[in-house]
Every structure is written in structure tokens, then in C-alpha cells.
Structure 1
Amino acid sequence: MTLADLPHESTVRDPLEAVARQLLIEIGEDPDRNGLQDTPRRFARWWREFSDYQAGQVETHFPLRTDGQIVMVSDITVWSLCEHHLLPFSCVLTIAYRPGDHVLGLSKFARIAHRHAHRLQVQERLVRDISEEISKVTETDDVAVIGRGEHLCMTMRGIRTPALMTSSVFDGIFRDYGPPRDELIKIAFSRS
């Protein structure tokens, strides 16, 4: 059976709904059976919500001289989609930076992380993108991001084994091994 063979195909005007209907058909389901009738609409709405995510304002600063203090925000959890399989992965992030004459508003770290997670991604690029934006909005090169993620493309398919992947970006004072990097790693892995 193809999409053209279905009685309701001509009434489906949303291309994402049509894709969802065809997907259901291809995996042997009937998109018109009870329980699946609204699935194409929900599928289309979810994809739009995911890809149209608006992070809001991320440049909110507060004047504060920290005299070299390191600021870390940990346990930020984001969900993204693996660009190779279109399957979700979750990533727990720890972000650190050394402020100059101002500090970034706390919620802005999560907003930035979500902005980059709400697109097709690979974890390595996700942590790099977050690091680059944090550096830009905080006006410092002293930024580090550690991400620990479980990828359903490994857990649910292929090898079918859960595992955590860790990827990191260390710039500025975090690039070399020493107290700032050691402190960050200790915090990032303290819940392991």
C-alpha cells in the first residue's frame, strides 16, 4: 500500500503529516486506525516545535568584578537528535568560564545550550557550538564545556548497549592541565 492508496491522503495538506502517514504505512501500520489517527498531526507539530525552538535573550549581563573567579554551571540536560539516524540523544552539560567585568545571567547558559541542541547534531559539534557562543556573549576566551551523552542510536539499534559518550572543549585557562581544569573535571564527574 502506498500513500496514494489511502482514502484520507488527499485531505492531508501538511507535508510533515503526509511524511508521518507514509512512515506509518511503510512500517506496516494503518494511520487511520484508532490510536494512530492523530499521530501524523502530533508528529508534524513536534518536529516544528523542536526545530523552531526560540531560546530568547541570551546576552543578559550583570556588572560584577570577580577577580579571576571561575563560574561553573553543571547538570544542564538537553535533548537533541543525532543527524545520522534522527534518533534522540540526551546530553548533560557542565559549562565554565572566567568572567571579566560582568557575569552572564544564570538561565542564559541553559538557553544557549538548548538553542544548539534543537537541531540535528553530533555531540562533538554541540559542545563546540555552545563553547563558542558562551565565549562570544561573555567576551572571554576562558571557556570550557563538557558534555556526557547517551545516544539512542547506540542504545536502541546497532549494538543495543547503553553507554555515555563524553566530549569536551577546553579553551583559554582551561586548555592546559592545572587547577582550573582539574576543578572543572572534578565537578563535571562528581555525579558519576
Structure 2
Amino acid sequence: MPSRYNEPPRKIDHEKVKGLVTELLAALGEDPDREGLKETPRRIANFWRDFIEYDAGKLDTTFQAVKHNQMVAVTGMRVWSMCEHHMLPFWCDVSIAYIADDKVLGLSKFARIAHKHAHKLTLQEQLVSDIANHVKVILGTDDVAVMAKGEHLCMTMRGIQTPHRMISSALSGQFHQAEQRAEFLRLVD
């Protein structure tokens, strides 16, 4: 696999994040030393450490395919990520499919790959593309489809303040053909 998929998680500067949160609280007119806020900088730094330094574990376990040219799909995997424009959370229900050729991907690896790519500042469109590309590399095929249906708090709690569902997909290989695309969409609906 290309090195970008094997890189260890990035490390955050925990102490600096704590200091910046303390400064932010003060800039918001709060007293960072008051009872309810004393531990807030540490808690937020811990969150960012856990989020950014997330380790999805082994991602590339594959097995010999039992049947060739069979569509394999896993749906309903909920992941949380952070919008890179507003640094607010969004969640997505992710579906991943591929056409099995010589090998199949271990079942837990679908969710591990989705979570790996969700644990960073990103956009939903980039998230589905990153997941699809990673699955393509592991399986050595272009016949991969990924769809995500999510809600973004940057739209729900700020701006227009409207609940919504954003749907994005990355289709490649045989999934550009009407029959495979229709089967995938039926499976994920």
C-alpha cells in the first residue's frame, strides 16, 4: 500500500491545545479558573488527542474470494468527523461496496477504514473519496463504491440552523455502469 495509508496517526501538542483553550475561554468573556471551566482545557485537549491520534488498527486483512464478480456491501456504519471549515462535528452513515475478484476484505476492516478517514478535519466529499481510494488500494480493484449520508452541525446549529441529510458518493469501475450502480443504490437504501 502507498505510504500515506500506512502512516502512524499525527500527534497533537496537548499542552499547547490546553493553553489555546484557556485563551479562547478568556476571549469569550469566561473565567477559565471558575469551577465549571477549570478542567475544560484538559478535557478539550484530551478530545483532540483521542480524535486526531485515533488508531484504527489493522486495515488490510483480506481472504481468498469464494465467488468472483459478486457485489459485497456493508452499510450503516456511523462515523463522526469534523468539518474543516468550521471545526464542528458531522456524522455520516457510510456504505461501502466492491465487486469481489480474487480477494475479499475482512468484515471489520470496512468500519476501521471509514473511522480512520473520519478522524481528521475534512469534508464529507473528501471522506467518501478517501475511503474509496483506500479500499481500491487494499483490494487492487477500481470496482468500489462508497456513499455517506450525514448531518453537519455547521448547518444545523449555526448559519441557516436547519436539520438536513447530505448525501455524497464516490463510484468507480463497474459502478459507473447503470446495472451495478442501481444494485448498489438498492442495497444502501
**Alignment TM-score, normalising by the size of structure 1:** 0.89
Partner of 2:86: 85
2:29 is matched with 28
The Cα of 1:103 is off from its aligned counterpart by: 0.9
- Is the contact made by 1:65 and 1:100 (CA closer than 8 Å) also made in structure 2? no
User: Is the partner of 2:174 in helix, strand or coil?
Assistant: helix
* 1:133 CA drift (Å): 0.3
- Contact 1:73-1:94 at 8 Å conserved across structures: yes
1:106-145 to structure 2, matched below 5 A, reads 106-145=107-146
Look up the match of 1:186.
186
Q: Percent identity?
A: 51
Query: Counterpart in 2 of 1:176?
Result: 177
Q: CA deviation at 1:67?
A: 2.2
Divergent runs of 4+, >3 A: none
The alignment partner of 1:70 has SS state of: strand
Deviations 1:16-70 (A, max 9, x none): 1111111111222111111211110011111111111111111101112312110
Count of residues paired in the alignment: 176
Encode CA deviations 1:59-92: one digit per residue, 9 max, x unaligned. 1011123121100000011100000000000011
Larger Rg: 1
* Structure 2 equivalent of residue 10 of structure 1: none
Distance 1:64 1:174 in 2: 19
Which residues of structure 1 form unaligned runs of 5+? 1-12
Partner of 1:96: 97
Q: Which range moves more in the overlay, 84-93 or 55-64?
A: 55-64
Rounded Cα–Cα distance in structure 1 between residues aligned with 2:26 and 2:109 = 42
Q: Deviations over 1:74-114 (max 9, x none)?
A: 00111000000000000111100011122110010111111
Partner of 2:160: 159
> TM-score scaled by structure 2?
0.90
Q: Output the amino acid matched with 1:184.
A: F
| Mapping of residues 51-90 of structure 1, within 5 Å | 51-90=52-91
CA RMSD of aligned residues (A): 1.1
Unaligned runs of 5+ in 2: 1-13
Partner of 1:9: none
